[in-house]
A and B are shown apart, each in its own frame.
Chain A
Amino acid sequence: MADLRINLAGIKSPNPFWLASAPPTNSGYQVQRAFEAGWGGAVWKTLGEPILNVTSRFAAVSYNGQRVAGFNNIELITDRPLEVNLKEIYETKKRFPDHAIIVSLMVEPKQEKWHEIVKKVEDVGVDGLELNFGCPHGMAERGMGSASGQVPELVEKQTYWVKEVARTPVIVKLTPNITDITVTAEAAARGGADAISMINTINSLAGVDLDSWNTVPHVGGKGAHGGYCGPAVKPIALNMVAECARNPLFNVPISGIGGISNWQDAAEFILMGATGVQVCTAAMHHGFSIVEDMIDGLNNYLDDKGIASVMDLVGRTVPRYSDWGNLDLNYKIVAEINNDVCINCNKCHIACEDTSHQCIDLYSESGRPMLKVREEDCVGCNLCSIVCPVDGAITMVERKSNIAPMTWNERQSLISNFAR
Chain B
Amino acid sequence: MVPIQENAMTEQLKRNFVEMNSRMTKNEALEEANRCLYCYDAPCITACPTSIQIPNFIKKIASGNMKGSAMTIMEANPIGASCARVCPTEELCEGACVLNASTKPIKIGHLQRYTTDWAMESDVELFKKGESNGQKVAIVGAGPAGLSAARELSRLGYGVTIFEAEAKAGGLGNYGIVSFRLPNDVVDWEVEQIVKLGVDIKTNTAVGVDISVEEILAQYDSVILAVGMGAVPNLGIEGEELAGVHDAIEFVKQTKMGLLTEDLVGKRVAVIGAGNTAIDGATCAVRLGAEQVEILYRRTEKEMTAYQFEYEFAKQDGVAFKWLTAPKKIIGDKAGKVVALECVKMKLGEAGADGRQRPEIIEGSDFVIEVDAVIKAIGQTRFVSLIEAFGLEHTHGVVDIDETTMQTSNKKVFACGDVVFGNGQGEAMVVTAAQQGKDAAYVIHEHLRKPSEIA
Contacts and interface: CB of A to CB of B under 8 A. Distances in A.
Interface residues of B, number: 16
B40 A347 contact: yes
Binding site secondary structure of chain B: helix
B370 interface: no
B46 to A, nearest CB: 10
Contacts, number: 35
B403 interface: no
A194 to B, nearest CB: 46
Interface in B15-38: 30-31, 33-34, 37-38
B62 interface: yes
Interface in A136-171: none
Question: By CB atoms of chain A within 10 A, which of B31, B41, B99 has the most?
Answer: B41
A407 interface: no
A344 interface: yes
Nearest to A65: B34
B39 interface: yes
Contacts of B99: 343
Given A64-B34, A350-B40, A362-B41, A344 B62 contact: no
A406 interface: no
B102 A346 contact: no
A345 B31 contact: no
A369 B40 CA distance: 12
A389 interface: yes
Interface in A350-383: 350, 362, 369
A48 B113 CA distance: 56
B101 interface: yes
A389 B97 CA distance: 13
Interface string A323-363: 00000000000000000000111110110000000000010
Interface string B328-364: 0000000000000000000000000000000000000
A345 B40 contact: yes
A192 to B, nearest CB: 50
A347 B62 contact: no
Given A65-B62, A389-B102, A390-B102, A347 B39 contact: yes
A369 B42 CA distance: 11
Given A64-B62, A65-B31, A343 B101 contact: yes
B43 interface: yes
Contacts of A390: 102
Given A65-B31, A389-B102, A390-B102, A346 B40 contact: yes
Contacts of A64: 34, 62
Contacts of A344: 39, 43, 98, 101
Contacts of B34: 64-65
Contact of B40 (A65, A343, A349, A389): A349
Contact of A343 (B33, B62, B98): B98
Interface string A61-100: 0001100000000000000000000000000000000000
Contacts of A362: 41
A414 to B, nearest CB: 44
B359 to A, nearest CB: 34
A349 B98 CA distance: 15
Nearest to A346: B40
A64 B59 CA distance: 10
Contact of B30 (A65, A345, A347, A349): A65
Contacts of A343: 98-99, 101-102
Contacts of B30: 65
Contacts of A350: 40-41
Given A64-B34, A65-B34, A389-B102, A346 B62 contact: no
Interface in A184-202: none
A168 B281 CA distance: 84
Contacts of A347: 37-40
Nearest to A387: B37
Nearest to B41: A346
Interface in A235-259: none
A332 B31 CA distance: 39
B107 to A, nearest CB: 15
Nearest to A351: B40
Interface in B31-72: 31, 33-34, 37-43, 62
A338 to B, nearest CB: 13
A64 B30 CA distance: 8
B41 to A, nearest CB: 5
A34 B37 CA distance: 39
Contacts of B37: 345, 347, 389
Of A65, A347, A349, most buried by chain B (CB within 10 Å of CB) is A65
A262 to B, nearest CB: 21
Contacts of A345: 37, 39-40, 42, 98
A191 B31 CA distance: 51
A346 B39 contact: yes
Nearest to A210: B64
Nearest to B62: A64
Contacts of B39: 344-347
A113 to B, nearest CB: 49
Contacts of A369: 41
A64 B32 CA distance: 10
A362 B98 CA distance: 16
Contacts of B33: 65
Contacts of B62: 64-65
A344 B46 CA distance: 13
Contacts of B41: 346, 350, 362, 369
Interface in A378-397: 389-390
Which of A64, A347, A369, A390 has its CB near the most chain B CB atoms (within 10 A)? A64
A346 B55 CA distance: 13
Interface of B: 30-31, 33-34, 37-43, 62, 98-99, 101-102
For the complex of A and B, list the 7 residue pairs with the smallest distance between their C-beta atoms, beginning with the closest: A350-B40, A65-B34, A346-B40, A345-B39, A343-B101, A343-B98, A64-B34
27 contacts: A64-B34, A64-B62, A65-B30, A65-B33, A65-B62, A343-B101, A343-B102, A344-B43, A344-B98, A344-B101, A345-B37, A345-B39, A345-B40, A345-B42, A346-B39, A346-B40, A346-B41, A347-B38, A347-B39, A347-B40, A350-B40, A350-B41, A362-B41, A369-B41, A389-B37, A389-B102, A390-B102
Given A362-B41, A389-B37, 7 more contacts: A65-B30, A343-B98, A344-B39, A347-B37, A350-B40, A369-B41, A389-B102
